[in-house]
Amino acid sequence: MSDMKITIQSSEYGETPFDRAKLISWWSQDVVSSSSVLVVGAGAIGNETLKNLALLGVGKMFVCDMDTISVSNLSRTVLFGKDDVGKNKAEVAAKGALRMSNNPDCHIDYFVGDIVNGLGHGVFRRFDIVLGCLDNMLTRANVNRRCCLFQKPYLDAGISGLGLSLNAHRYPESSCLECGMDSNDVARERMIRYSCDAFKKRAIQEGHAATVLVSTAIVSALQVQEAIKALHQLNGIALEVPVRYGQKYYYQGMNNLFEQMTVPIKEDCDAHFTIDKVIETPLSSNDTLKEALTTLKGLFGYDCLIDTYPDSAFVTKAKCVSCHKEIAVNRPMGEIYSDELYCPDCQKSDANGYTPEYTAIDIFSSDIPHDYLMDYKLERLGVPPLHVLTVREKGNDDNIKYIELTGDLNRVLPNTFERGSYA
């Protein structure tokens, strides 16, 4: 979360930084200045993309990343300096982009943490377009599904050496990113990042991609150019050549090969699910499960069940991997690392390939088997702030509503969006 209040003085001269852009026949600086862009990833591509958006005068930006800045990042990141090594990428990138912005009314928020488990759906529904600047398939797939939920344009950029790719999607108008993904590659990456029973691995054993600034700059320029065109289209401005979704653009700098490929819609793609109506509520992830269920009953007039998010496995207890002694866990499976399943006396023991035994319950889609969990806050149960929950009437699975934890709005997006009526 963030709390940045930086203002930039308007120019005292008659000209503006955007005079040359306005010479483009279809360009509307009002559209650019009033647009909101979500940037997922604040590494090499993310730095270039935020820099481009800032110079163009985009009005609202949100940047997320869980990593810290390393020395090797400095050769490819215009927003990072030597004094920033060890700091959070998202925070430093957000503040750097804000200082660089040519828009005196620019507002930027940032998120430091696990995008998959820590970022609520409500963030995605509020931004006009999502730009992916990521380095792994699992997070790409997760972001893609959020974009599908709210029918948001998703422009995903990637680099390797002098090669680069840009994927442009907007489901259901076109295919989504996962329509063009190889399921075997996704499964292979999941094996790298998770143990066989879905607990996280502390150290990810994988090689770093070969990367240089030039390919980063090129793919970011393509990404932001398509984003600006898409933002104009979203505002009803016709372009001579509109953005084509369902496309993959590939450029290999070694031999200057440029290709454009159409990604067809995969009819059985698991990502193809949309939400048409979201009900904003005063609920927050700081509310307990008991408080949430009581509020929902007051809103709708009947007992409710909160459906899975997205896999609501909650581990109540496990057997120590080393000595097999039972230990209390009480955490969402998606937040547990495999090296945490030891009792205090055995944390440095060798597990010798033993697969941990654990007890997991589906905490949201059925009656709660343990009364004490009713006093747990939603966030402790695995629900991130500003999330959109699926709520069903108890005993009537056909009565479904999608409710947002709008009470978290000012905590998650304090600068980019005004306080909601429930904040």
Domains of the chain: 21-262 (3.40.50.720), 279-412 (no CATH)
Question: What residues have CB less than 8 Å from 177, skipping those under 6 apart?
Answer: 132, 140, 141, 144, 147, 154, 156, 167, 169, 271
Predicted pLDDT of residue 306: 87
Q: What single-letter amino acid sits at 330?
A: N
Residue 219 has pLDDT above 50, yes or no: yes
Looking only at Cα atoms, what is the longest distance across the chain? 75
% the chain with pLDDT above 70: 88
CB 365 within 8 A of CB 308: yes
Residue 111 has pLDDT above 50, yes or no: yes
Backbone angles phi, psi at 121, to 5 degrees: -60, -30
Q: Which helix (H) or strand (E) holds 402?
A: strand 396-405
Backbone angles phi, psi at 362, to 5 degrees: -90, 95
Q: 12: which DSSP letter? A: S
Q: Mean pLDDT throughout 238-259? A: 94
Predicted pLDDT of residue 131: 98
- Provide the token pair at 355: 């697969």
CA distances from 10 to 17, 54, 55, 415, 416 (A): 10, 15, 14, 19, 19
245: region left, alpha or beta (phi > 0 left; psi from -120 to 50 alpha): beta
Q: Which of 302, 291, 317 is nearest to 383 (CA)?
A: 291
User: pTM score, two decimals?
Assistant: 0.91
Q: Which of 355, 311, 351, 371 is nearest to 335 (CA)?
A: 311
**Which pLDDT tens digit goes with each residue over 343-381?**
888 765 555 556 778 888 877 765 665 678 889 999 999
Q: With DSSP H G I counted as helix, E B as strand and the rest as coil, what are the percentages for the chain, rounded to 5?
A: 30, 25, 45
Q: Mean pLDDT throughout 136-150? A: 95
How many CB atoms are located within 10 Å of the residue 311 CB?
12
Handedness of CA 70, 71, 75, 80 (dihedral sign): positive
- Exposure string of 245-269, with b = 16+ CB inside 10 Å and e = fewer, is bbbbbebbbeeeeeeeeebeeeeeb
Backbone angles phi, psi at 331, to 5 degrees: -145, 155
Q: 295: which DSSP letter? A: H
Q: Rounded distance, CA 138 to CA 134, Å?
A: 10
Question: What residues have CB less than 8 Å from 328, skipping those under 6 apart?
Answer: 316, 317
**Which pLDDT tens digit goes with each residue over 52-100?**
999 999 999 999 999 999 998 888 899 999 999 999 999 999 999 999 9
Residue 204 has pLDDT above 80, yes or no: no
Predicted pLDDT of residue 2: 54
Backbone angles phi, psi at 262, to 5 degrees: -90, 130
